[in-house]
Amino acid sequence: MIGIHPKALLEFDKLDGILQETITEHIAGYSGPVDFYVDKLTEGIATIAAAFAPEPVIVRLSDFKSNEYANLIGGRQYEPHEENPMLGFRGASRYLDPDFQPCFELECQALCKVRDEMGLENVQVMVPFVRTVKEGAAVIELLEKNGLKRGVRGLKVIMMCELPTNALLAEQYLESFDGMSIGSNDLTQLTLGLDRDSGIVAEVFDERDDAVKYLISITIQACLKQGKYIGICGQGPSDHPDLAHWLVEQGIESMSLNPDTVVETWMFLGGAKV
């Protein structure tokens, strides 16, 4: 676990003495604050990538919200206070922000080390929470600028489909990306206009809602039409085997499952009684 705000590592020399001491203890064994961040990311990504090589491993880029970043060591002095961080400074918007961009570049360095130096070219990249087609294209340019160019040594860049705009304009987004992974949690809350962390409206949250399924369906069809990857990485298939069955019927290529539901869902999809 890293546990330290990347900006605090980049600006280590500017921090007060107490914070420097805390960070120094945390990064013991590494050559410096920035190397700690890059190397820890590299170690984590490479461990998973090597375990599954040569099968593709999709690495989602960071998507901490401002309140989550604020809770890291040194984080409070760099993060804004937002009433609704879920809809705030996160995802692609954060990478493109001039103030945060140096932090994002560290993430890119780690991915380049895994792919270029370690030779784990089965690693693919996934961009979360893209708000506009223009923003998506800008992130692709930023990745290329930092050594992660689509198509070079087989690199694929996939985007999360988490907002209604991603589904409704899927064909336009796919001009910049090699596929989509549906984030059913965010897509459901943003389609139904609810906060999934609120217990008051929790009973309304349902990935099987007709509006949500419509958006999922048109996303799948857009990807299939262009011969591009389409998967789902939300909670829905684990909670609802009938949704998993519907997704297979729609042509989904892959789906993530909670470990304790894998066997049961596989058997359900295979037609076995459980």
Q: Please write the tens of the pLDDT for every residue from 1-52.
A: 899 999 999 999 999 999 999 999 999 999 999 999 999 999 999 999 999 9
Q: Is 135 helix (H, G, I), strand (E, B) or coil?
A: helix
Residue 15's alpha-carbon distances to 7, 74, 122, in angstroms, are 10, 9, 38
Backbone angles phi, psi at 176, to 5 degrees: -105, -15
Sheet-wide strand order for 57-60:
57-60, 123-127, 157-161, 179-182, 229-232, 254-255
pLDDT > 70: percent of the chain = 99
Residue 274 confidence (pLDDT) above 70: no
Ordered domains of the chain (ranges, CATH): 1-124 (3.20.20.60), 156-274 (3.20.20.60)
* Chain position carrying tokens 């992130």: 139
Cα–Cα distance measured from residue 67 to residue 80, given in angstroms and rounded to the nearest whole number: 8
Per DSSP (E only), the strands in the chain are: 57-60, 123-127, 157-161, 179-182, 229-232, 254-255
pLDDT for 203 equals 86
Structure tokens at 18: 């107490």
Higher per-residue pLDDT: 160 or 262: 160
Q: Find out whether the peptide bond into 98 is cis, omega within 30 degrees of 0.
A: no
pLDDT for 71 equals 97
pLDDT for 271 equals 78
Cα–Cα distance measured from residue 63 to residue 211, given in angstroms and rounded to the nearest whole number: 25
Q: Which amino acid is at 72?
A: L
pLDDT in tens, 126-141: 999 999 999 999 999 9
Q: Which amino acid is at 112?
A: C
Cα–Cα distance measured from residue 211 to residue 204, given in angstroms and rounded to the nearest whole number: 13
Taking a C-beta distance cutoff of 8 angstroms, is the pair 163, 185 a contact? no
pLDDT for 1 equals 86
The neighbouring-strand residues paired with 202 are: none
